[in-house]
Chains A and B, each alone.
Chain A
Amino acid sequence: MIKAILIFNNHGKPRLSKFYEHYNEDTEQQIIRETFHLVSKRDENVCNFLEGGMLIGGSDYKLIYRHYATLYFVFCVDSSESELGILDLIQVFVETLDKCFENVCELDLIFHVDKVHNILAEMVMGGMVLETNMNEIITQVDAQNKMEKAEAGIAGAPARAVSAVKNMNLPEMPRNINIGDISIKVPNLPSFK
């Protein structure tokens, strides 16, 4: 089981938090903070697993994380999950984001956290892995977005226009804070699909 999925940036600012078990807001924030402290002080070339300790759930749980340019993707999982499998799942997740946002960057996650949630919902459900095939995930996400567009219809047009206007004077919205080299693969994992 996956207990929590967290995304935060290099400064510990949360970009997405998904807890599959209930904690109150303060505890959630504390978990994010502590996870950030644990993860951020690790070098680049060390392993991607961390024994979470008492943070979430105790000794059966592990933090499995990956660091892409400005963002950390952290999964907190128990011993029923395969460590390398989860690493690969993170890769699939990021690649899916990359496809859905077309060259994803941190800003996409900042402004469209709801969309990220929707994508994640097609991969992991209630703490269990639902789908690992990227094409399938994208198909489902696209179909749902299409529905949304159809529903908005003509009534949605003015709202879209306004948001386009709002975005026009946005010089501070650089597209180049890329999530970076997504093609870093875990070595020795080629045949994992």
Chain B
Amino acid sequence: MALKIVKGSIDRMFDKNLQDLVRGIRNHKDDEAKYISTCIDEIKQELKQDNIAVKANAVCKLTYLQMLGYDVSWAAFNIVEVMSSSKFTYKRIGYLAASQCFHESTDVIMLTTNQIRKDLSSPNQYDTGVALTGLSCFVTPDLARDLANDIMTLMSHTKPYIRKKAVLIMYKVFLKYPESLRPAFPRLKEKLEDPDPGVQSAAVNVICELARRNPKNYLSLAPLFFKLMTSSTNNWVLIKIIKLFGALTPLEPRLGKKLIEPLTNLIHSTSAMSLLYECVNTVIAVLISLSSGMPNHSASIQLCVQKLRILIEDSDQNLKYLGLLAMSKILKTHPKSVQSHKDLILQCLDDKDESIRLRALDLLYGMVSKKNLMEIVKKLMLHVDKAEGTTYRDELLTKIIDICSQSNYQYITNFEWYISILVELTRLEGTRHGHLIASQMLDVAIRVKAIRAFAVAQMATLLDNAHLLTGNTQRNGICEVLYAAAWICGEFSEHLENPVQTLEAMLRPKVATLPGHIQAVYVQNTAKLFATILKSQEGNSDSTTSEETTQLLIDRLPVFVQSANLEVQERASCILQLVKYIQKLQQKDVEVAEEVSALFAGELNPVAPKAQKKVPVPEGLDLDAWINEPPSESESEDEQPKAIFTKEEPKHARPRHTEVDEKELAKRREARKQEQANNPFYIKASPSSQKVYQDASGVEHIPVVQIDLSVPLKVPGLPMSDQYVKLEEERRQKERAEKKKKEKKKRKEKRSGRGKKHDSGPESEEDITPAHMVDIVTEEMPENALPSDEDDKDPNDPHKALDIDLDKPLADSEKLPVRAHRAAEALKSPVEDAEADNAGPQESRKKSGKEKKKDKDRDRKKSKEEKKKRKHKHEGKEEDLLGGDANEPVAQSEEPSEAAEPPASATAEEATTVAAAAAAAPTTPTAPSITAPVSEPDEPQDAEMEETKSSKHKKKKQKKEKEEKKKKKKHHHHHHRHSDGGVEESVQNGTVEEDEPLPPMSNYCLLAENAYIKMVCDIQGNLQDGSQVVVSVIFENKCSSFLKSMEFNVLDSLNSKLQRPEGSGPHDGLTVPFQLPPGVSNEARFVFTVQSIVMPQKLKGTLTFIVKNEDSSTHEKLDFKLHFTCTSYLITTPCYSDAFAKLLESGDLKSSSIRLEGINMPFHHLLARICFHHHFSVVERIDSCASMYSRSIQGHHVCLLVKTSGQTVSIDAKCDEPTLLGNVLDEIKQTFSLC
């Protein structure tokens, strides 16, 4: 045996390892592929051996080859083998290979479930870590379902290294198995306050990722995040949270209002650019959501724009880029504040960095107005000429078109100008966007009636010069334009100056080299032109022109009849036959023009892209019902013709539609003519533009010599768009002058004549009247189409499945599947325990048995649900008896500090008015009326858990019933809402079953008070930093005057110091960041650094403030003493019994004990008080004995064993720091001596 091992390892020495492989590949540069294929053969041999080391080595090499692009999926099974090795070295190799090449359709993945589960529960944290890392890359729905519960258990692992990995991977699990989200969410939420910053950051990461997709479900977490934002110092976490708020604010504007202040503070204070940038971004999001501006927000916008300008002006290209990016967000709602920086942005267009130029272009898009459109586009055209590299030029081109066509051509005042811009764009070499220009030409020509004559003239010139566009093969993309040109010339041929010439141009032999679909349009439109020519010649006695034209067609069309393109061929032969027939008739001197033009009569209207979708389904039509009985399944061949039939249906629909509208169209046309006739503006149709017409047509007469040049040429005969800029200027000036002369009456008339659309523009914009009647024909929609915007949602989005209401109580059926035998194990965590009874026979996962199992599952669920319903009924009754909200038997584990805040309730209002609510709650701690009808969303869920738990054991059930009876008797006592952290804490560990009311408690204690102001404060350790303590002070204005300029100052001691902003002296006070109107209270937080935490501390301090009356203002001050108890250095940290036992066994702890006499309260009240006031959590409770745990901010463990007998309570305590322990015990004693 030993020999075998030695032999194996010697063999292995001479095997090729990864380094050898890499070296080999580098040495075989010429025949790499061949070398690798021999290596793969070797690897195949190695994989056949028994020795796991050899296999692992082979798999390691495969991972490298995978990176080079070789498919290694054939070795998937060997990878699983290596994964299951007991040695960490090999396991890691296996998991790495799996993470690189496994995916959902890898079938061996189903073999890994048990192996992964074993690794997850391995005592070695790195085995677990490696398994988690691997799993995160190849988790499948099956794996997610089977392992969700194991991973959830790991979220409470003692090692933060595992916790953070487990938390992160939950996101992947949620994606693959959305049902796990609700059961796992409470624990995930808990991890937001994990003592380890890494775990906390992971939890924030996951929740942000979830909330980004479905923000509305996470609104209730806003208070928690708000707290984290104000307390965290980790920039990663802050950035994530701030980004999250950016996603939440659009849903809840009130949240935005709360955010502005802390965010602006951060903007002013932070030195990290990344954080600053995200703050600006979120402030922008807030401002967008608040767009109906409050007055002081203009300041915030100014601040943002200012900061962004600094970024853009920075020499660092990254910051410049991001500045522009954020600027474009502001632009959407506050265009004015950005427009003033036009200079800067135009400057960025010249930047050498393409990313930055593209960003600047984006910005320009939003900055255009009627006034500056021509100017901006002119600048862009200059850039088009200069631009090197087609991508950027293409981008410029699309941007120009986007800018001009945005919101229904809103900013275009002169369409002649726009057409000439489009024509100029056709001169671009090698652009991909020919079709874009073409569709713009078509769109404008169809929808802007007044422009048609001009457009047709331009298009005719284009057709005439088609050789310039097609001459170079490189410019192929642009020939799409000819498609539009041909169509426009054909469709609106009545506007053509010289149709015969155009017809001639369209029938040139060179046309046959164009792409098929363009030829088809050419052929079809020659027919239209032909019809027009015939019609125009009809009255003429001299019929030579029409006959010549007919002959021309007959001569030239055969080229197209021979086309390889079916469409062209078909159309050409149709039309050729038609023309031949017409020729016959012409020879008999029959007048045919009328009939030929009837072929193309009627106007085509643009149809909205969504029109087809919006045709409402008529009543009584069920599209899912069978028209005929479905054929028997055996005739599978029948399906194909059916598919064709359904595809055809939309085609049928269209002609029907136009028929119906024919009459109405005529009517509409009539009405429009009427309108134009009555419109003084339309009749005048700017004299300046007529000049251009003459120019254009004048040039057309000049014969053009056809030279095929590859150099871009200016297309002769086409007006330059630049002319228009000047003309437009003149026109506007003239108009302005005219306007002054005109009487008001006329102006009124004019206004009423113009479209409604223009009313929304600002005054100065309105003064610019379009040169043409901008008669934009609206796109057609089917009658009674439903105005819905739900077309854009992608049904395949995986995140859609995660759109789950998290506030709803958890139902039994939702709990995660757990392996059956787990249920018998010792109680580790309450959730797991509660879920255990839901365990099913998930283990037996044979492929054939799957279907059956599903059925079973369903049955089980059904019966569970029924049970649940019964249970609910029962509960309902009880609640009625107890008076609705007063009955809150149990609560979720939450930090006691949270209890001070009203829990995130169902109503969004309460959820978001964080600070105000937090401030309001503690100021009235004695008033029971504070218990507004709030219901903790998680509570019912826990109630259910409790119940399921108790129903598990019959004994307990009986007990419970007894208790319920008791409860009914006592129900009149239940008039307090007891949301105290203590109760919640203890219940978390499943120990308290009594439901007796607790008096309301608050940790806020009076700090100082005088006639003007009252200060109460609460001191909490900082989770992130072992040397920081956060003091939350609530200032309440007690007088009827306004309090302002409050300054908070303390005398620092050697041990404790108030954290002041950088640059201020050690004795400067901190300004309280708010003012207090009469009767208002608000909370501020101050951070202190402490060095030693074993002794309590007292700090003297002063609050100075100005009391402002209507007539006078006085300076006042108030002294106070801040008392840092040792308790305030403790942080509630949950601890499970197993970990607790280990801790006690370790023997590092010193013990101490106290006795309390004359305690006259129920035991669970006592525990609740310790939990609440001293930040402990209950680990375990047995009858009148309980173990409790807490941790200091510097990591000291404090363990308590509390026993009670009669009126004496004895507390045995252990801690690794005796002084701290002594002080804590003293403080506990004091707490109880007070009551």
When chains A and B are docked, how far (Å) is the Cα of A112 from the Cα of B18? Answer: 8
Assess whether B17 is interfacial by the CB under 8 Å rule: yes
- B2-20 residues with Cβ-Cβ distance < 8 A to A are 5, 9-10, 12-14, 17-20
Given A22-B103, A148-B88, A193-B235, decide whether A47 and B318 contact each other with a Cβ distance below 8 A. yes
Extra 5 A-B pairs, beta carbons < 8 Å, given A117-B63, A186-B273 = A17-B67, A80-B209, A118-B96, A158-B13, A192-B274
State whether B67 touches A128 (Cβ < 8 A).
no
State whether B69 touches A47 (Cβ < 8 A).
no
Chain B residues, Cβ within 8 Å of A24: 71
State whether B273 touches A189 (Cβ < 8 A).
yes
Assess whether A51 is interfacial by the CB under 8 Å rule: yes
Closest 10 CB pairs of A and B: A126-B136, A84-B274, A22-B103, A47-B317, A46-B353, A29-B69, A188-B273, A47-B321, A162-B13, A191-B272
Assess whether B633 is interfacial by the CB under 8 Å rule: no
Chain A residues, Cβ within 8 Å of B198: 130-131, 133, 136
When chains A and B are docked, how far (Å) is the Cα of A113 from the Cα of B67? Answer: 10
Chain A residues, Cβ within 8 Å of B22: 110-111
Assess whether A98 is interfacial by the CB under 8 Å rule: no
When chains A and B are docked, how far (Å) is the Cα of A162 from the Cα of B11? Answer: 11
Assess whether A95 is interfacial by the CB under 8 Å rule: no
When chains A and B are docked, how far (Å) is the Cα of A136 from the Cα of B197? Answer: 12
Given A80-B243, A113-B67, A189-B272, decide whether A128 and B318 contact each other with a Cβ distance below 8 A. no
State whether B355 touches A25 (Cβ < 8 A).
no
Assess whether A177 is interfacial by the CB under 8 Å rule: no
State whether B205 touches A20 (Cβ < 8 A).
no
- B562-607 residues with Cβ-Cβ distance < 8 A to A are none
State whether B132 touches A125 (Cβ < 8 A).
yes
Residue pairs across A and B with Cβ atoms less than 8 A apart, 10 shown, are A45-B352, A110-B26, A111-B22, A114-B18, A118-B92, A148-B88, A187-B316, A188-B271, A190-B272, A191-B235
Q: What 1/0 flags go to A128-151 for Cβ under 8 Å of B? A: 111111001000100110011001
When chains A and B are docked, how far (Å) is the Cα of A118 from the Cα of B317? Answer: 33
Assess whether A16 is interfacial by the CB under 8 Å rule: yes
State whether A130 touches B68 (Cβ < 8 A).
no
B contact residues vs A (CB 8 Å cutoff):
5, 9-10, 12-14, 17-20, 22-23, 26, 60, 63-64, 66-71, 87-89, 92-93, 96, 100, 103-104, 124, 126, 129-130, 132-133, 136-137, 161, 164-165, 168-169, 171-172, 198, 201-202, 205-206, 208-209, 212, 234-236, 239, 243, 270-275, 277-278, 314, 316-322, 352-356, 358
Given A128-B205, A155-B9, A158-B13, decide whether A46 and B317 contact each other with a Cβ distance below 8 A. yes
Secondary structure at chain A's binding surface: helix, strand, loop or mixed? mixed
Looking at the assembled complex, report how far the CB atom of B1073 sits from the nearest CB atom of chain A, in whole angstroms. 22
Chain A residues, Cβ within 8 Å of B169: 125-126
State whether A47 touches B164 (Cβ < 8 A).
no
Given A49-B321, A126-B137, A189-B272, decide whether A111 and B316 contact each other with a Cβ distance below 8 A. no
When chains A and B are docked, how far (Å) is the Cα of A123 from the Cα of B22? Answer: 26
When chains A and B are docked, how far (Å) is the Cα of A161 from the Cα of B88? Answer: 22
State whether A128 touches B206 (Cβ < 8 A).
yes
State whether B13 touches A159 (Cβ < 8 A).
yes
State whether B20 touches A166 (Cβ < 8 A).
yes
B277: nearest chain-A partner, CB-CB = A84
A158: nearest chain-B partner, CB-CB = B13
Chain A residues, Cβ within 8 Å of B278: 82
Q: What 1/0 flags go to A88-119 for Cβ under 8 Å of B? A: 10000000000000000000001111100110
A86: nearest chain-B partner, CB-CB = B274
State whether A82 touches B9 (Cβ < 8 A).
no
State whether A191 touches B271 (Cβ < 8 A).
yes
Chain B residues, Cβ within 8 Å of A42: 354
State whether A113 touches B355 (Cβ < 8 A).
no
When chains A and B are docked, how far (Å) is the Cα of A128 from the Cα of B17? Answer: 32
State whether A51 touches B352 (Cβ < 8 A).
no
State whether A186 touches B137 (Cβ < 8 A).
no
Chain A residues, Cβ within 8 Å of B96: 114, 117-118, 121
Looking at the assembled complex, report how far the CB atom of A119 sits from the nearest CB atom of chain B, in whole angstroms. 12
Looking at the assembled complex, report how far the CB atom of A73 sits from the nearest CB atom of chain B, in whole angstroms. 15
Chain B residues, Cβ within 8 Å of A190: 271-272
Chain B residues, Cβ within 8 Å of A179: none
State whether B212 touches A80 (Cβ < 8 A).
yes
A1: nearest chain-B partner, CB-CB = B209
State whether B126 touches A143 (Cβ < 8 A).
yes
When chains A and B are docked, how far (Å) is the Cα of A17 from the Cα of B99? Answer: 12
Looking at the assembled complex, report how far the CB atom of B399 sits from the nearest CB atom of chain A, in whole angstroms. 14
State whether A50 touches B20 (Cβ < 8 A).
no
State whether B318 touches A129 (Cβ < 8 A).
no
When chains A and B are docked, how far (Å) is the Cα of A16 from the Cα of B773? Answer: 61
State whether B172 touches A84 (Cβ < 8 A).
no
State whether A166 touches B89 (Cβ < 8 A).
no
A154: nearest chain-B partner, CB-CB = B9
Given A140-B161, A151-B87, decide whether A84 and B69 contact each other with a Cβ distance below 8 A. no
State whether A46 touches B88 (Cβ < 8 A).
no
State whether A51 touches B69 (Cβ < 8 A).
no
State whether A131 touches B68 (Cβ < 8 A).
no
Of the residues A28, A47, A188, contact of B356 by C-beta under 8 Å = A47
Given A111-B19, A144-B92, A155-B5, decide whether A130 and B202 contact each other with a Cβ distance below 8 A. yes
Looking at the assembled complex, report how far the CB atom of A7 sits from the nearest CB atom of chain B, in whole angstroms. 10
Assess whether A76 is interfacial by the CB under 8 Å rule: no
State whether B69 touches A25 (Cβ < 8 A).
yes
Chain B residues, Cβ within 8 Å of A193: 234-235
B95: nearest chain-A partner, CB-CB = A121
State whether A20 touches B137 (Cβ < 8 A).
yes
Chain A residues, Cβ within 8 Å of B26: 110
When chains A and B are docked, how far (Å) is the Cα of A130 from the Cα of B354? Answer: 32
State whether B243 touches A82 (Cβ < 8 A).
yes
A113: nearest chain-B partner, CB-CB = B64
Given A118-B96, A148-B89, A189-B274, decide whether A128 and B66 contact each other with a Cβ distance below 8 A. no
State whether A45 touches B87 (Cβ < 8 A).
no
Given A113-B64, A131-B198, decide whether A151 and B358 contact each other with a Cβ distance below 8 A. no
Assess whether A180 is interfacial by the CB under 8 Å rule: no
B70: nearest chain-A partner, CB-CB = A25
State whether A192 touches B235 (Cβ < 8 A).
yes
A78: nearest chain-B partner, CB-CB = B212
Looking at the assembled complex, report how far the CB atom of B329 sits from the nearest CB atom of chain A, in whole angstroms. 12
Chain B residues, Cβ within 8 Å of A166: 19-20
A29: nearest chain-B partner, CB-CB = B69
A148: nearest chain-B partner, CB-CB = B89
Chain B residues, Cβ within 8 Å of A126: 133, 136-137, 168-169, 171-172
Chain A residues, Cβ within 8 Å of B100: 18
State whether B104 touches A125 (Cβ < 8 A).
no
State whether B354 touches A46 (Cβ < 8 A).
yes
Of the residues B12, B70, B126, B320, contact of A144 by C-beta under 8 Å = B126
Assess whether A181 is interfacial by the CB under 8 Å rule: no
Looking at the assembled complex, report how far the CB atom of A99 sits from the nearest CB atom of chain B, in whole angstroms. 19
Given A83-B322, A128-B205, A163-B17, decide whether A46 and B9 contact each other with a Cβ distance below 8 A. no
B139: nearest chain-A partner, CB-CB = A126
Assess whether A48 is interfacial by the CB under 8 Å rule: yes
Given A151-B89, A158-B9, A191-B272, decide whether A130 and B164 contact each other with a Cβ distance below 8 A. yes
Looking at the assembled complex, report how far the CB atom of A77 sits from the nearest CB atom of chain B, in whole angstroms. 12
- Most B Cβ at <10 Å: residue of A1, A121, A151: A121
State whether A130 touches B165 (Cβ < 8 A).
yes
State whether B68 touches A14 (Cβ < 8 A).
yes
State whether A121 touches B273 (Cβ < 8 A).
no
Given A118-B92, A193-B235, decide whether A51 and B164 contact each other with a Cβ distance below 8 A. no
Chain B residues, Cβ within 8 Å of A29: 69
When chains A and B are docked, how far (Å) is the Cα of A37 from the Cα of B161? Answer: 38
When chains A and B are docked, how far (Å) is the Cα of A47 from the Cα of B275? Answer: 18
Of the residues A47, A84, A167, contact of B320 by C-beta under 8 Å = A47
- A24-60 residues with Cβ-Cβ distance < 8 A to B are 24-26, 28-29, 42-43, 45-51
Of the residues A28, A129, A143, contact of B205 by C-beta under 8 Å = A129
When chains A and B are docked, how far (Å) is the Cα of A140 from the Cα of B318? Answer: 32
When chains A and B are docked, how far (Å) is the Cα of A42 from the Cα of B104? Answer: 36
When chains A and B are docked, how far (Å) is the Cα of A133 from the Cα of B124? Answer: 23
